[in-house]
Amino acid sequence: MVQSALPPYQMLSPNSVVCLMSPTASGKTDLAFELYQTGRFELISVDSALIYQGMDIGTAKPTADELAKFPHHLVDIITPTETYSVANFVADVGRLIDGIHHRGKIPLLVGGTMMYYMALFDGISSVPETDQSVRGKVNQWLVDEGIDALYAYLQTHDPIICQKLKPSDTQRITRALEVLLQTGKPMSHWQNTPKVALSHDPKWHWYGIIVTPDRAWLHERIGRRLDIMWADGFVDEVIALINEYPTLDADMPSMRCVGYRQVLEHLCRIRHECVVNHPTIHQYYQSNFAKLTDEQIIAEISANFPKKSTKTPINLWDLSCQDMKNKALYATRQLAKRQYTWLKQLALMDNPTITNVTIASFDSIEQVQKQFLQSHQL
């Protein structure tokens, strides 16, 4: 991989693939719109939350009008009850790149899911997709005997992978067991197989644009964007999703998205009917919140707030709502922190045998505009 200046977009070769990579709320979407208007690009979303239909406000998804004007591939492609793996993403991107090049355009990948970008640039191991019947058996095993029994079995049959897992990591433990039962080979075996990356294919030239803006500036933008989300009805959006999908589960990837998890916890704390009466989320509510009294919940939440002397009665809904907003803000900032780490890791990747990847680093979206567009008048 080569660290280099970014050429103006007019100078890109027809076989180029451009990736615009930056933390959440940094302004990359507006730049993607600007580049789309040049007529040279098609947009591919690199966002593991924008794939879900009906999850619009909490994901800061472009509006319906914006998507009509600036179409994105890989947006609204599944429901919140469905799954979409990194391997699915890589396969879809490979197919899309070929199609976009065939139409005489350049793919512009834009989004903040760094795990997807690392799969494109560094590759993924050839771990097979899980058969649904095997997943069902493992899930039933989990219900019947609990995560301790599954972890004990995995320790016997794949001690290497267990060194990387916490005994409470239900998602990764069940995934490792699914692979073991389906293939007869442990997850550690599959993870040691050679990685395959789309960016290693010499028929394409990849340009990775890394933007790492000032963190204080980004934190302020994150706060403002969350304020807009709350005002636009983020809580109502989550309620609507729960009501629409009877099989939605609290442990599904869609409900683990930043912001959505915090809203779900708030709805459980205030005992909203959408969670109390839901066929599957009801189990999450029962396990974590149903046995607590309002007073216990208030005391638990109050521990997160500065002590204030007031005679005003504490309202559970208001207190829980503020706690939800605080936790969503913290979780989003932590997401941005992880994105910074991934971007630095990607910028430092070095493979002298790969000459068809160029990495360019910037401190702001404005710097990218100045160099990549070079005062192009739209």
**363: in domain:** yes
Please give the annotated binding residues for ATP, written as ranges.
Answer: 22-29
* Band of residue 135 on the pLDDT scale cut at 50, 70, 90: confident
Q: Is residue 271 predicted with pLDDT exceeding 90?
A: yes
List pLDDT tens digits, range 93-122. 999 999 999 999 999 999 999 999 999 999
Mean pLDDT across the stretch 121-148? 87
Mean pLDDT across the stretch 10-27? 96
* Separation CA 112–CA 22 (nearest Å): 6
List pLDDT tens digits, range 217-240. 999 999 999 999 999 999 999 999
* Band of residue 378 on the pLDDT scale cut at 50, 70, 90: very low
What pLDDT sits at residue 3? Answer: 62
pTM of the model: 0.85
Please give the annotated binding residues, written as ranges.
Answer: 22-29
In 3D space, the residue among 333, 363, 339 whose CA is nearest the CA of residue 117 turns out to be: 339
Mean pLDDT across the stretch 57-66? 97
**197: in domain:** no
The Cβ of residue 7 has, within 10 Å, a number of other Cβ atoms equal to 16
Does residue 318 share a domain with residue 278?
yes
Strand partners, 358: 2, 207
**91: in domain:** yes
Does residue 355 share a domain with residue 299?
no
What pLDDT sits at residue 312? Answer: 57
Domain range for 365 is: 9-123+203-214+339-373
**249: in domain:** yes
Q: What is the CATH number of the domain that holds 157?
A: 1.10.20.140
Measured distance between the N- and C-terminal CA atoms of the chain, rounded to whole angstroms: 32
Mean pLDDT across the stretch 275-301? 93
Does residue 207 share a domain with residue 86?
yes
Residue with the bigger pLDDT between 175 and 128: it is 175
3-class state of residue 210 by DSSP: strand
**358: in domain:** yes
What pLDDT sits at residue 202? Answer: 93
Average pLDDT, the chain: 92
Strand partners, 3: 359
Distances (CA, A) of 30 to 14, 35, 106, 252: 24, 9, 18, 30
Does residue 70 share a domain with residue 46?
yes
Query: Could you give the number of structural domains in the chain?
Result: 3
**378: in domain:** no
Q: Is residue 73 predicted with pLDDT exceeding 90?
A: yes
DSSP H or E stretch at residue 328: helix 316-348
Mean pLDDT across the stretch 176-180? 94
List pLDDT tens digits, range 304-335. 877 654 555 578 999 999 999 999 999 999 99
* Band of residue 257 on the pLDDT scale cut at 50, 70, 90: very high
Does residue 323 share a domain with residue 222?
yes
Does residue 210 share a domain with residue 85?
yes
Does residue 241 share a domain with residue 137?
no
What pLDDT sits at residue 1? Answer: 60
What pLDDT sits at residue 377? Answer: 46
What pLDDT sits at residue 351? Answer: 73
What type of residue sits at position 206?
Answer: W
Does residue 63 share a domain with residue 162?
no
Tokens representing 116 are 């997807």
Helix axes 294-302, 316-348, angle to 10 degrees: 50
Please give the annotated binding residues for substrate, written as ranges.
Answer: 24-29
Strand partners, 111: 21
Does residue 250 share a domain with residue 105?
no
In 3D space, the residue among 39, 40, 45 whose CA is nearest the CA of residue 93 turns out to be: 45
Does residue 32 share a domain with residue 100?
yes
Q: Is residue 255 predicted with pLDDT exceeding 50?
A: yes
Does residue 149 share a domain with residue 67?
no
3-class state of residue 218 by DSSP: helix
**198: in domain:** no
With tokens 């320790």, the residue in question is 155
* Separation CA 205–CA 17 (nearest Å): 6
**101: in domain:** yes
With tokens 């912001």, the residue in question is 259
